[in-house]
Amino acid sequence: MGKLPVPFLLFVFSTLFTLIIPSAGGLSFNFTGFFAGDQNISYEGEASPSGGAIQLTKNMTVSSGRATYHRPMQLWDKASGNLTDFTTHFSFSINSEGRTPYADGLAFFLGPEELPPIRFLGEGLGLVRNGQPLNTTDNQFVAVEFDIFQNLFDPPREHAGIDINSMKSVNNITWECDIRGGKTTDAWISYNSSTHNLSVSFTGYINNTMEMQFLSHIVSLRDILPERVSFGFSASTGTAYAIHTLRSWDFSSSLEIVGNVTNDGNATNPLDPAAASPPNNGTRRNRKKNRTGLAVGLGVGGGAIVVGTAMVGFVFMFMCRHEEDEGDHVLEEYMDDEFERGTGPKKFSYQELARATKNFKDEEKLGEGGFGGVYKGFLKEIDSFVAVKRVSRGSKQGIKEYAAEVKIISRLRHRNLVQLIGWCHERKELLLVYEFMPHSSLDSHLFNETSLLPWEERYKIAQGSASGLLYLHEEWEKCVVHRDIKSSNIMLDSEFNAKLGDFGLARLVDHGKGSQTTVLAGTIGYMAPECGLTGKASRESDIYSFGVVALEIACGRRPINPRASNEDEVSLVHWVWELYGEGKLIEAVDPRLCGEFNKKQVERLMIVGLSCAHPDEHLRPSIRQSLHVLNFDAPLPILPSKMPVPSYFAPPLSSLSIMSYGSADSKGGMNESSS
């Protein structure tokens, strides 16, 4: 941002200190521990900090407790219609200390700021009104539950589920846990505001070995919950009990907060240290008195607030305009210097791209790519159709990912990579122009009942995808770790040639060096098992993703099928490996092919897929070795008949940054940002 006169800045800050102005910004924090006196967590019921963690319930029957963040989250904004994206990671344990039976469970939840009071009768994980576990009228919440007690409406055994206004889950899965031993569970929850997909992944234990489990549900949170929501954790015990403990929590949301408010709904001065203090029980009891005082205060100070708000708003706009103008200028200088020296991508004007896409009409939208929508357009200048990627304005990482994608893909040239034609950065818009792929993405053919991809095309697509990945990993001047290889990111041209696309998550790594990426990225089902525990991506994790895609191509099945009747068939990799061990690999081939396939090619593709998706990253082949096998230039790898399950050791939680904008405090506390 350009420099502004010091007196002017002093005036701005003095105004901010004097007036009550709501702050704006997404919410991000990272707690690696919880301690008495920390003002950032509000406790209800019998929840309390203990030994650097939060004990949500006492070690006794009919105990309930909640721990919520001290201020609400802006879930959606009525004025703009925007809905937030959010992601959270937390670790917890439920420990019966060897006892059976045990109850009840723990939940991460979003709910109204005025939550039903905690009542010490156990039941409903502390979320629902007593005696109304299935009532969808009075209850208003969305939760991810880790339930250790089977009610009449529950599935058998311990389970994880997604609950909407009711304790009867809309989707659930058996949770492979160790309650008697009290093992720590890590869970990751994310919500995509574009697709309305609420995704959950978490660790489980089978035969004392850790494995990842997955769950998801499509839901418009705007239709369920108010604009601002309380969020946090709730737990309870019943006639049986266990200790429910929260050990760490990081969280990040994308939507700017419309007003900085406390839990009692009152606006606060963001620069007043007292504003960070959560309400205690006395505050809750005296809420009516406070509101009366607030009404009088607002009546007296309303005029000053309106004038001050307008004045500071003007200042803010002035400063932002300076920052945006300078940001545009710097980025354009960089682009001009980087790309226009040779025959690289061309700079387009916003007007050209708006005209090409009919002003980004919904009818021209091809779908949602990484960090933004993709539109079909026609550019007269090159007499060709193009795909225009419009980076989402609501994404905090949009500019960062845009820059990464432009910087990397503009320098890559390979027949199996989507070509970047041009770019635009005007009017606060970030736009990328790609060659148009007439046959869309691979997944649209594999999982579309109305179209059938013949085997010859499938095998060619697998070879082409491997060839593109070989160029990224070994043949370019640096190793490019793609980090999001999946069937929806493999595009098909007019002759069904495969082209890897969507480089918004890609990272450059020097050849010969190991993993350098420390932010977990990618898509559930395609992520290597070590990624969820180490938070790192590498060539080996790209290989794992390619292996999953190879199996998708052969089997015509998605990597995760939560509705599978047989638990062994939920994971595509597990299912195919079981058939491989039984000598029945051919039974996994897409039945829609009706036997019309080359048996030797099928065998090669599926065994290559399994070897690439080996649970141990050190035993995966390179992409060059895999391509040699697919091209019949090398023998088939020999795999164990049973899928190996190695033990991974999770690093300290403070070393992970799971799609979070906050960072761990070196003192074991928290780091918060509202930008």
> Is 389 one of the annotated binding-site residues?
yes
DSSP 3-state helix, strand, coil percentages of the chain (rounded to 5)? Answer: 30, 25, 45
585 versus 194: the higher-pLDDT residue is 585
Selection from 16-25, 401-410, 450-459 with the highest mean pLDDT: 450-459
3-state secondary structure 283-330: HHHCHHHHHHHHHHHHHHHHHHHHHHHHHHHHHHHHHHHHHHHHHHHH
The phi and psi torsions of 344 (rounded to 5 degrees) equal -75, -165
Asked if 464 contacts 631 with a C-beta cutoff of 8 angstroms, the reply is no
Residue-level pLDDT at 320: 46
> Is the pLDDT confidence value at 441 over 50?
yes
State the catalytic residues: 484
Distance CA 525, CA 527 (A): 6
Query: Does the structural domain 25-258 have CATH classification 2.60.120.200?
Result: yes
Above 50 in pLDDT, residue 89? yes
Q: Give me the residue spans of the domains in the chain.
A: 25-258, 342-435, 443-644
Residues 302/303/305/307 CA torsion (nearest 10 deg): 160
For residue 111, pLDDT beyond 90: yes
Query: Which of 158-167, 362-371, 549-558 shows the highest mean pLDDT?
Result: 549-558
Three-state secondary structure call for residue 50: strand
Instruction: Say if residue 611's pLDDT is above 80.
Output: yes
Residue whose pair of structure tokens reads 């350098």 in the numeric block: 516
Are 539 and 520 in contact by the 8 Å Cβ rule? The answer is no
Q: What is the pLDDT of residue 121?
A: 55
530-533's contacts with Cβ under 8 Å and 24+ in sequence apart are: 530/617, 530/648, 532/186, 532/188, 532/201, 532/203, 532/212, 533/186, 533/203, 533/210, 533/648, 533/649, 533/650, 533/651
Indicate the SS3 state at residue 536. coil
Give the domain 342-435 fold.
Phosphorylase Kinase; domain 1 (3.30.200)
Question: pLDDT tens for residues 297-352?
Answer: 444 444 444 444 444 454 445 444 444 444 444 445 545 554 444 446 788 999 99
CB atoms within 10 A of CB 444: 16
Q: What residues does 210 pair with on adjacent strands?
A: 205
What's the confidence (pLDDT) of residue 566? Answer: 75
Ramachandran class of 24: left when φ > 0, alpha when ψ lies in -120 to 50, beta otherwise = beta
Q: Are 553 and 446 in contact (CB under 8 A)?
A: yes
Confidence of residue 415 (pLDDT cuts 50, 70, 90): very high
pLDDT tier, 81 (very low <50, low <70, confident <90, very high otherwise) = confident
* E strand map for 99-206: 105-111, 142-147, 159-164, 171-174, 185-192, 197-206
| Among 81-95, 369-383, 431-445, 573-587, the least confident range | 369-383
What is the CATH architecture of 443-644?
Answer: Orthogonal Bundle (1.10)
Which helix (H) or strand (E) segment holds residue 393: the answer is: none
569 has pLDDT over 90: no
